[in-house]
């Protein structure tokens, strides 16, 4: 797209607003870029927190037998690792990108509700503290798995109440953030920025935000019922009082499946921005991308039963969920096809953002395929709750959501910081991540097919070899993430000025209309998009 005036808004740098400094600036900021930065650093911190737990898990599983941790603590580790990564790392990271990019990409000055934006972020922090602090209360952190299934969750101690409170707070924060994002996109677009001209990252976030306001309240309801079962004598899920634990699974997964798309849709947006930029071709099939995203979002509400093929639903129910789940592979396939078609005959270069995006396409597709395998009811009945499932969701979440977060971070760092990151270090980070990731998670397919259950601290001897490889891969992957941290800090401190548009093929407003670094206040007078 192009705009009427290519003039830069550098003059906004010496804007009349008073800028508090230091701690106060960050505590009270209502600036979308500041809040985006807060979210991104917070997410990175939580990523390393969850990562330490993952490495403890893999250290324990390096060999059969109990080496480092006792089984109860092991269960807490898998539970809190999952919760921290989902709610603390991936989701806040996407909200961080949304804050930074959405106003710039639609030509708005800021988010629609800047003060609520500040609240959304600062709510996340106490929630994270609650989650991590629950390790230190009597009874240890929640050990029910991140899915919080009763009856276990009804029986454990005070840490469950902390976890439930954390989920409530995170839900409130997500809902506020989503309302802000939807309102911004619907009401604050620059003149000429029609819906079908919006960059795909904005589109995917619009749909994600709708998913969030539709399912976060359902999760809030589910954990509230857990809380009243625990403390106020209700029996929603407590079989002893006539409740039904299976019902919790239905409610949880009604939230849970859309939730996995909440984590992946913005990734589709980022990859749809990066692939055209480095292939130097416009995105193939823009409109079909929008419709595919919307169909995925709608379908995601009718497939939750694929997480519960083994609970004894009637055969007709199992069949329905099986076919509905397979249907999702169609719009997902459309997307993968479009990305490949975009690269086709493009004049491609392979800078770090592009590497991570291509890595995303290859590995996410593997995750999609293992998802299809799991969607086949009779197959799932034999491999449900095995390491095959663990392999599946790490392919879609790590090499899917996380890789595209890295791709986005490298892509927009020059715009965020005004400096260029170290390209060779970025490439090293990519290659170590890909290699470590595949060594860690590919063997888990074999382990699952051979029958190794998930969430166990010890295992039968025949699983020893692939577990050893998996742990080695996990440590390679884990430690190579320090390269990313180093690269970001080094980039911020370096003196390599980035060009306003360092990427030849990037054509969204933040590249074409704003200098690098993007000024504190941008687009106070909206650009006109043709």
* Closer residue to ligand HEM, CB minimum distance, 166 or 389: 389
Q: Which does 112 bind (CB under 5 to 8 A by kind): Cu ion, ligand HEM, another protein, none?
A: another protein
Q: Least CB distance from residue 246 to another protein, whole Å?
A: 9
Quick check: is 8 catalytic? no
Closest by alpha carbon to 395, among 387, 253, 308, 375?
387
Measured distance CA(165)–CA(129) in Å, rounded: 11
Which one of the listed residues 332, 370, 399, 417 is annotated catalytic?
332
- Residues contacting 133, CB < 8 A, separation 6+: 162
Distance CA 232, CA 254 (A): 25
CA distance 467 to 448: 11
**If binding is defined by CB under 6 A, does position 258 make contact with ligand HEM?**
no
Choosing from 147, 183, 224, 295, the residue that interacts with ligand HEM (CB under 6 A) is 147
400 vs 46: CA distance, rounded Å:
18
By CB under 6 A, what part of segment 315-354 binds ligand HEM? 325, 328-329, 332
Query: Which of 214, 340 has the CB closer to Cu ion?
Result: 214
Rounded to whole angstroms, the Cα distance separating 236 from 241 reads 8
183 is catalytic: no
Instruction: Check the CA dihedral 511-517-521-525 and report its sign.
Output: negative
Catalytic residue at 144?
A: no
Residue nearer to another protein on the CB measure, 254 or 477? 254
**Gap between the terminal Cα atoms of the chain:** 7
Q: Is 257 in the site for Cu ion (CB under 5 A)?
A: yes
Binding residue count for ligand HEM, defined by CB under 6 A = 24
Catalytic residue check, 419? no
Question: DSSP for 259-283?
Answer: HHHHHHHHHHHHHHHHHHHHHTSPP
Binding site partner of 445, from another protein, Cu ion, ligand HEM, none, Cβ cut-off 5-8 A by kind = none
Supply the minimum distance, in Å, between the C-beta of residue 222 and another protein.
6
Nearest approach in angstroms of CB 168 to ligand HEM is: 21
Is the distance from CB of 390 to CB of 252 less than 8 angstroms? Answer: no
Asked if 173 is an active-site residue, the reply is yes
Which of these is catalytic: 307, 384, 419, 521? 307
Of 9, 34, 60, 110, the catalytic one is: 110
CB of 214 to Cu ion, least distance (A): 15
Q: How many residues line the site for another protein (CB under 8 A)?
A: 30
* Rounded CA separation 517/499 (Å): 9
Question: Which one from 335, 392, 445, 521 is the annotated catalytic residue?
Answer: 335
Q: How far is the CB of 448 from another protein (least distance, A)?
A: 28
Residues 492, 476: Cα–Cα separation, whole Å: 25
**How many residues are given for the chain?**
530
Count CA within 13 A, CB hemisphere, residue 516. Answer: 21
**Which residues are tagged catalytic?**
81, 110, 146, 173-174, 257, 259, 261, 272, 306-307, 332, 335, 454
């Amino acid at each position: 797209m192009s705009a009427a005036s290519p003039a830069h808004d550098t003059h906004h740098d010496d804007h009349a607003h008073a800028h508090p400094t230091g701690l106060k600036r960050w505590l009270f900021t209502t600036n979308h870029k500041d809040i985006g930065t807060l979210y991104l650093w917070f997410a990175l911190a939580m990523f390393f927190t969850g990562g330490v737990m993952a490495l403890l898990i893999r250290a324990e599983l390096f060999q059969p037998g109990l080496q480092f941790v006792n089984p109860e603590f092991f269960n807490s580790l898998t539970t809190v690792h999952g919760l921290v990564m989902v709610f603390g790392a991936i989701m806040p990271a996407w909200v961080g990108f949304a804050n930074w990019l959405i106003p710039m990409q639609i030509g708005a000055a800021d988010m629609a509700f800047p003060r609520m934006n500040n609240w959304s972020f600062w709510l996340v922090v106490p929630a994270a503290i609650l989650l991590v602090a629950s390790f230190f209360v009597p009874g240890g952190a929640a050990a029910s798995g991140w899915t919080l299934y009763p009856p276990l969750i009804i029986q454990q101690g005070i840490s469950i109440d902390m976890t439930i409170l954390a989920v409530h707070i995170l839900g409130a924060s997500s809902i506020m953030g989503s309302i802000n994002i939807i309102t911004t996109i619907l009401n604050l677009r620059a003149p000429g920025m029609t819906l079908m001209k919006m960059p795909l990252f904005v589109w995917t976030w619009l749909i994600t935000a709708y998913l969030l306001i539709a399912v976060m309240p359902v999760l809030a309801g589910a954990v509230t019922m857990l809380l009243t079962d625990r403390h106020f004598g209700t029996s929603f899920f407590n079989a002893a009082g006539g409740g039904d634990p299976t019902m919790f699974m239905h409610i949880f997964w009604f939230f849970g499946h859309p939730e996995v798309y909440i984590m992946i849709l913005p990734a589709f947006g980022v990859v749809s921005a990066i692939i055209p930029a480095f292939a130097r071709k416009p995105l193939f099939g823009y409109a079909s991308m929008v419709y595919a995203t919307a169909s995925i979002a709608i379908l995601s509400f009718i497939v939750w039963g694929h997480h519960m093929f083994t609970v004894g639903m009637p055969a007709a129910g199992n069949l329905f969920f099986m076919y509905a789940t397979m249907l999702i592979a169609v719009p997902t396939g459309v997307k993968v096809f479009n990305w490949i078609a975009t690269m086709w005959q493009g004049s491609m270069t392979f800078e770090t953002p592009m590497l991570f995006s291509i890595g995303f396409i290859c590995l996410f597709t593997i995750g999609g395929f293992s998802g299809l395998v799991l969607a086949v009811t009779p197959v799932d009945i034999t491999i449900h709750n095995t390491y095959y499932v663990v392999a599946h969701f790490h392919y879609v979440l790590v090499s899917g959501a996380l890789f595209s977060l890295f791709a986005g971070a490298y892509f927009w760092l020059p715009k965020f910081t005004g400096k260029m990151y170290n390209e060779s270090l970025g490439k090293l980070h990519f290659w170590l991540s890909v290699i470590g990731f595949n060594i860690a998670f590919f063997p888990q397919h074999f382990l699952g097919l051979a029958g190794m259950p998930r969430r166990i601290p010890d295992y039968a001897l025949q699983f020893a070899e692939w577990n050893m490889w998996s742990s080695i891969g996990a440590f390679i992957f884990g430690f190579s993430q320090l390269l990313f941290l180093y690269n970001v800090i080094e980039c911020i401190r370096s003196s390599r000025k980035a060009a306003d548009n360092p990427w030849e093929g990037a054509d969204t407003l933040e590249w074409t209309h704003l200098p690098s670094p993007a000024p504190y206040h941008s687009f106070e007078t909206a650009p006109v998009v043709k």
